[in-house]
């Protein structure tokens, strides 16, 4: 029986951001909630690492809030390949209200080695986001690459 282990690259990939709070670490994922004292924009993320047990292996991760889901995927990949998937969302957590969430991996022809779920407060709601400088024409500043295309 093969005992698959996380590689150093997997360990680095699975690290949550430095300013994030770890909600879950294991293989299966979690169903949880977060709450804040003031309206706060929060980033919630999930990362997972797996090993392909057979050809056409895939690893998918999801963050589910209410009826909405955001998904990330790696694969299909051949047997014995490392698979890594991540996804994050930004949500407004209203003061004093619990925000229920689910974050989990789904593997096909693969064994999940570890999954981490984390949350990081980005800023209080109503506070302007930090200004970022971008190279290129001024009318592209602050927009995502996909939005800058005309």
- Closest by CA position to 118, among listed 42, 45, 36, 33: 45
Main-chain phi, psi angles of 79, to 5 degrees: -55, 145
> What pLDDT, on a 0 to 100 scale, did the predictor assign at position 5?
86
Residue position matching structure tokens 């293989």: 27
> What pLDDT, on a 0 to 100 scale, did the predictor assign at position 1?
43
pLDDT tens, the chain, 150 aa long? 456 788 889 889 999 999 999 999 999 999 999 999 999 999 999 999 999 999 999 999 999 999 999 999 999 999 999 999 999 999 999 999 999 999 999 999 999 999 999 999 987 656 655 544 444 344 333 333 333 332
> What pLDDT, on a 0 to 100 scale, did the predictor assign at position 141?
36
Which CATH code of 2.40.40.20, 2.60.120.10, 2.60.120.1310, 3.10.129.10 fits the domain covering 8-148? 2.60.120.1310
Kindly list the domain boundaries of the chain, sorted by start residue: 8-148
> What pLDDT, on a 0 to 100 scale, did the predictor assign at position 6?
86
> What pLDDT, on a 0 to 100 scale, did the predictor assign at position 133?
42
> What pLDDT, on a 0 to 100 scale, did the predictor assign at position 89?
95
H or E segment at 3? none
- Closest by CA position to 65, among listed 43, 36, 40, 95: 43
The β-bridge relationship of strands 40-52 and 82-93 is: antiparallel
């Amino acid at each position: 029986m093969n005992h698959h282990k996380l590689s150093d690259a997997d360990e680095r990939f699975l690290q949550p951001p430095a300013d994030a709070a770890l909600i879950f670490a294991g293989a299966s994922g979690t169903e949880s909630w977060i709450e804040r004292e003031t309206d706060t924009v929060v980033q919630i993320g999930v990362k997972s690492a797996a090993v392909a047990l057979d050809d056409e292996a895939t690893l998918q991760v999801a963050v589910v809030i209410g009826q909405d889901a955001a998904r990330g995927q790696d694969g299909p990949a051949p047997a014995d390949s490392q698979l890594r998937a991540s996804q994050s969302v930004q949500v407004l957590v209203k003061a004093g209200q619990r925000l229920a969430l689910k974050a989990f991996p789904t593997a096909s022809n693969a064994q999940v080695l570890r999954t981490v779920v984390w949350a990081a407060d980005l800023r209080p709601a109503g506070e302007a986001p930090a200004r970022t400088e971008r190279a290129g024409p001024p009318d592209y500043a602050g927009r995502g690459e996909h939005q800058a295309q005309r």
